[in-house]
Amino acid sequence: MESEVLTSDEGLQATGIRRNGNGAGSAILEVKDLRVHFPVTAGMIFQRKVADVRAVDGVNFSVRKGETLGLVGESGCGKSTTGKAILQLHKPTTGEILFSGRDLARLKSGEMRRMRRNLQMIFQDPYASLNPRMSVGSIVSEPLAIHGLASGNERRERVRELLQVVGLNPYYANRYPHEFSGGQRQRIGIARALAVEPDFIVCDEPVSALDVSIQAQIINLLMDLQEQFGLTYLFIAHDLSVVRHISDRVAVMYLGKLMELSDRNEIYENPLHPYTQALLSAVPIPDPRVEQTRERIILAGDVPSPVSPPSGCVFHTRCPIAIDECKAIVPEWRDVGSAGKEHWVACHRV
C-alpha cells in the first residue's frame, strides 16, 4: 500500500535522506533544571513511597525557532519523558519549561488546553497512536473540533488539504487505520499534528518502527514541512545517523541527564564527552577500510537503575577515564565552545 502514497514533491520521491540546512532564530523553548521523578510505592493496602524513579534529573537546554534539536541516548535514558514533560503529558516534579516566555509547568488546565494548539506531538508507534474505531478524516479533524477552528464543509476541506500535504490521497479520509501501512499511518499522525498549525512539534522516535526506505521518506517529509510551515522540532531518536541528517544541533542524554550539546557537525566530528565518543564509535560506516582502522569504545557494565543513580557523575561507573572527582562531585553543565560556537558538556575531564 506504500506505493499509493502521492509523491508530487521531489523530496518525497527520494529514497535517501536529504540534509537539513535550516537556519534558526531566537529561543522558542527554554527548559531549566527540569526534573521528572515517578514515585515507587510499597504495601498492599496502605501504600507508601519508598523511592523515586529519576527519569529526568536536572536537564537544561533551549530550542531556537525554526531549528531541529536532536535528542539522542540509550533506551530508558529519559528522552521520551523529557518530550512528554514539555507538553505536560507528564507533570514535572520541578523546573521551568518556558514556551514563548510562558512557564508551561505553572499554567492551569484551561490555559494549557489552549496552549496545546501551539505544541503538538508525533508519536513513535503509528499502529498504537491512531484510534482504530475512527476514520482517517475523524482522526485528522479531531484537533480542529477541539479547538473550534473549523466545522462542516470547511473542516472536511481542511482534512483533504492536510492529507495532500503529507503525501496521501485526500479520498482516503473515509478509510480506517487498519487499511494503511506503517508509513502511511505515520503520515496520518503527522497530518493530525499539523491540523492546528502548531509552532513546535515533539517528534518522539517517529521513524523507529518503520522500514529503512520508509524512514527516509518520513524524514524528508518532516524536513519539507519544516521549511514550508516554519516549524520547530525536538527530534527524539536513538539512530545517530538519522539525527545527524535532520538536526541542526544534537543533545546527548544518559540516565536522566544531558552529557553534551552542540552543533551537529561539531558533536560528530569533535565529541568531547566519553559517552558521546562511545556512542559514535558504535555507528557503522559503509566503508570496510575505515571500519577496520577506527577504534571501537566498548563500555563496561550496564546502565545503572534510575531509582538509585550513582553519586557524582552518573556515567562514572562505565567511564573509561573516570577519576575520584567524578565519583563524588556532579559535573557542571558548562559551555566550552570557542570562536563563538557553543559546545555544552558535563564532564570533569573536558
Residue 88 scores a pLDDT above 90: yes
Report the pLDDT value the prediction gives residue 291, as an integer from 0 to 100.
66
pLDDT for 1 beyond 50: no
Q: How far apart are CA 302 and CA 304, in angstroms?
A: 6
Q: Output the CA angle 179-183-187, nearest 5 degrees.
A: 90
Confidence of residue 281 (pLDDT cuts 50, 70, 90): confident
Closest CA to 98 of 63, 57, 147: 63
Q: What crossing angle do the helices spanning 212-229 and 182-194 adopt, rounded to 10°?
A: 20
- For the purposes of burial, counting CB atoms within 10 Å of the CB of 320, is it exposed (0-12), middle (13-18) or buried (19 or more)? exposed
Give residue 177's pLDDT: 94
Angle at 124 between CA 93 and CA 144, to 5 degrees: 85
> Does residue 103 have a pLDDT over 60?
yes
For 331-342, what is the mean pLDDT?
A: 89
Amino acid identity, residue 183?
G
Rounded CA gap, 112 and 151, in Å?
23
Q: Where are the domains of the chain?
A: 1-18+66-78+112-247, 272-350
- CATH (one of 3.40.50.360, 2.102.10.10, 3.30.70.2740, 3.40.50.300) for 1-18+66-78+112-247: 3.40.50.300
Query: Is residue 198's pLDDT more than 80?
Result: yes
Amino acid at 33: D
How many residues are given for the chain?
350
182 within 8 A of 130, measured Cβ to Cβ: no
pLDDT tens sequence across 216-274:
999 999 999 999 999 999 999 988 888 988 999 999 999 999 999 999 999 999 999 99
C-alpha cell at 230: 516554519
Tell me if 81 sits within 8 A of 253, measured CB to CB.
no
pLDDT at position 4 over 80: no
Q: What is the DSSP letter of 60?
A: E
**Which of 12-16, 44-48, 135-139 has the least mean pLDDT?**
12-16
pLDDT at 91: 94
pLDDT of residue 24: 56
Lowest mean pLDDT among 134-138, 145-149, 158-162: 145-149
φ, ψ for residue 283, nearest 5 deg: -75, 120
The pTM of the full predicted model, rounded to 2 decimals, is: 0.89
Residue type, 337: G
- Please tell me the chain's helix, strand, coil percentages from 3-state DSSP, rounded to the nearest 5: 35, 25, 45
Query: For position 66, what pLDDT does the model report?
Result: 94
In the chain, what percentage of residues exceed pLDDT 90?
69
- CA-nearest of 63, 6, 58, 67 to 33 is 58
